Structure 1
């Protein structure tokens, strides 16, 4: 599918605010229960089922692997035969899957329910990102920033909900997510008629205007940057409670909220700044700025550690929405695939990294993990230098 901006050479199409905020709200709910609550629940699942570190991180692996593997596949399917109802069905499954973990009697059952949630998220993201693309008019950066802030806010509030509610009421209280799953059908269902009509209109425009050329090398490099950023983000959220063992689970989850919450703010600010400074420059600088805060975290304590986490999260996640728009511009012929790679495969790879880190923790200790995590933003910044310029049409299709 062609980016809408290519069809608007003679004027600007306004932002469809109702649609954008609906998609952002749905993104909040999806990422609240998947990337937000699942990593934060690992420490509780560990104690409830008497798991070791490697088994515990299998939970995150299953969640992110089912989502990351399925998202590009759902994206390819959506590029060929878009199905707007997957937007609603995917969100419903992502919530209901986590709700069922409340009654999981063993690790295999837990992994099954987590997989249902992951597959739901995999179906949701490509259609939701495509919908945001269609509702954005000519304001791609702003629209994607609002959409991604919804997701990142969900990731931030996930640990907070765990700390103020689930820890006190127990794993079984997750069953109360079932009503939320049915309420999500109301939220998403009301926008489907508009989405279906907009999709048909876009197909007509696509036949009249060329799509542009896919840049597969650039997309591959960008995927590497997203994977490194995801390993860093998920690694901090998963291992922070184990690293700060002198704090209560509730206190460590609040620190996770600080980290991801600052990232949500960074996502919005980064989306706005990218229109002024360029996407490549923002990617390079944000990852580079995150490096010193990552390096000093093991050596600060008290208020300084909170401030450091805040700045760390703000910097490392400020490129989140930018990387999605960047990927869509590199793959203008496959918007669904671009969304699946940037939001799904890249971000979901954090689950694979968490299992690798879990094995390191069992052998060398959690402190070693944080040493590795501190170097990932620097590696991402160096790779970003080799990305094609988003300011030169000859290098990157627009």
Structure 2
């Protein structure tokens, strides 16, 4: 029972799922967790403007997001299990190397290496989680996987505040140890994963359902808008609170509250979506986030903690849901679905970071937070337009009947 949890309608290979969750924590700590939180450090070390500092996030996210769907689509046809250990190693080692970068150019090179590692890791780890679960347990399995990533994102500002700020930028080199740990964990399950990917490929012809391209496009835009909410808080909150003489170390703790609430929301969102439906949870997530997003620039102290907690809990609770829902929208392209939701959609936050950085340079950092309120509002409207769970299930059932009729004839 230690390695597998089963019930009449669900099954989880728990050892594999928790390994994917742990390495997801490491990966996202190094990328979406720490890179935005390191902006004040990089800005000070290399004397950068807001836009130049936000370019670091852009490079990190684009190297991950642009290539992640490519990696996913490619491995849908030709499985590359070795990308799993290689990806986690590069994502950690790249950020560790950023601590040794002598110039801004070399800093961006190190960040890009980390982003490429993340781009290779995410589709494979999500596919592995998909393989390690079945039936109604897929939402729960993706929650466990995604809560690892969201926990890494949440810990990023905390690690920067408690570890990197006292030690300086060279403190990043300690994360070479994390790169080796991630390599060890993924190599342990690689034999099982290789077998699973080969079996998945052989079973691909039996998959029922057609890809829902229009729905997937709307889903990606929802994820992009959610990502811009996240990067707005994670990347620019220290700059905004600096106007009110709040130390960077305290601002990073505010970020931790927001992202830790998101991790909690992710953990709760998956099982709730298994019970109430993926679309229902997604719409509720975006609608509940709207008032908190509008309140962020108007609160301080204890009220800021409450508002940021509510904002993170609501807007980030759909992380696991969007992955599973995307796999339903693209049933014949699971790797591509994972790459688009975890990679391109989330990684497009880097574009948002550069846009928000430019906005901060031209109009002031306050405008970044006044813009935040409109992002979940637009995402909620798009979520409402998505096809329902029931419609997708009906289409899959119709395709199954059609396939059986063709076989009979």
Cα deviation per residue 1:203-229 (whole Å; 9 max; x = unaligned)?
A: 33334x244200000000000100000
Displacement after TM superposition at 1:397 (Å): 4.2
| Equivalent pair of 1:152/1:264 in contact (CA under 8 Å) | yes
Secondary structure of 2:331's counterpart equals coil
- Which residue of structure 2 lines up, in the alignment, with residue 313 of structure 1? 312
Alpha-carbon contact 1:62-1:115 (below 8 Å) kept: yes
* 1:236 corresponds to: 233
SS at match of 1:14: strand
Q: Which runs of 5+ in 2 are unaligned?
A: 1-7, 398-409
Q: Which residue of 1 aligns with 2:247?
A: 248
Say whether residues 1:290 and 2:294 are aligned partners: no
Q: Hey, what does 2:405 align to over in structure 1?
A: none
Matches within 5 A, 1:117-266: 117-138=114-135, 139-207=137-205, 209-245=206-242, 246-266=245-265
Q: Is the 8 A contact 2:10 2:134 kept in 1?
A: yes
Tell me if 1:269 matches 2:268. Answer: yes
- The CA deviation string for residues 25-50 of structure 1, in whole angstroms up to 9 with x for no partner, is 01000000000000000110000000
Provide the residue aligned with 2:361 in structure 1.
362
CA separation of 1:31 and 1:137: change in aligned 2, threshold 3 A: same
* In structure 2, distance between residues paired with 1:265 and 1:111: 32
| Per-residue deviation, 1:121 | 0.2
8 Å Cα contact 1:259-1:313 kept in structure 2: yes
Shift of 1:14: 2.0
Aligned partners of 1:62 and 1:293: how far apart in 2?
29
Determine the C-alpha separation between the residues in 2 that align with 1:206 and 1:287.
Answer: 34
Residue 246 of structure 2 aligns to a residue whose secondary structure is coil
Deviations 1:228-285 (A, max 9, x none): 0001111111000000011111100011110000000001111111112111111111
Q: Is the partner of 2:389 in helix, strand or coil?
A: coil
Q: Greater CA deviation, 223-232 or 294-303?
A: 294-303
- CA RMSD of the aligned region, Å? 1.4
- Whether contact under 8 Å (2:89, 2:179) holds in the other structure is yes
3-state SS of 2:175 partner:
helix
Check conservation: 2:207, 2:332, Cα contact below 8 A. Answer: no
Q: How does 1:332-371 map to 2 (within 5 A)?
A: 332-371=331-370
1:145-178 Cα distance to aligned partner (Å, 9 max, x none) = 0000000000000110000010000001111111
Could you list the per-position Cα deviations for residues 333-386 of structure 1 after superposition, in whole angstroms to 9, with x for gaps in the alignment?
110000000000000000001101111111110111101112101110011110
What residue number does 1:75 align with?
A: 72
Answer whether contact 1:329 1:396 (CA < 8 A) is retained: no
How many Å separate the matches in 2 of 1:177 and 1:118?
A: 15
In the TM superposition, what is the alpha-carbon distance from 1:314 to its structure 2 partner?
Answer: 0.1
Choose from 106, 109, 125 the match for 1:109.
Answer: 106
Paired residues of 1:390 and 1:396 also in contact (CA < 8 A): no
5+ residue gaps, structure 1: 1-10
Q: Secondary structure at the match of 1:244?
A: helix
SS of aligned partner of 1:137: strand
State whether residues 388 and 395 of structure 1, in contact with CA within 8 Å, keep that contact through their aligned partners in structure 2: no
Q: Name the SS of the counterpart of 1:220 in structure 2.
A: helix
Counterpart in the other structure of 1:37: 34
Deviates more, 1:172-181 or 1:36-45: 172-181
- Counterpart of 1:336 in 2: which secondary structure? helix
Give the C-alpha shift of residue 392 in structure 1.
2.2
Whole-Å Cα distance in 1 between the matches of residues 196 and 10 of structure 2? 13
Q: Is the 8 A contact 1:92 1:185 kept in 2?
A: yes
User: 1:118, CA displacement in angstroms?
Assistant: 0.2
CA contact (8 A) 1:96 1:181 kept: yes
Q: Is the 8 Å Cα contact of residues 81 and 124 (structure 2) preserved in structure 1?
A: yes
Task: Tell whether the 8 Å contact from 1:78 to 1:336 is kept in structure 2 after alignment.
Answer: yes
Offset of residue 324 of structure 1: 0.5
The match for 1:377 is 376
The partner residue of 2:62 within 56, 59, 65 is 65
The answer to whether the Cα contact below 8 Å between 1:72 and 1:341 also exists between their aligned partners in 2 is: yes
- How many pairs are equivalent? 388
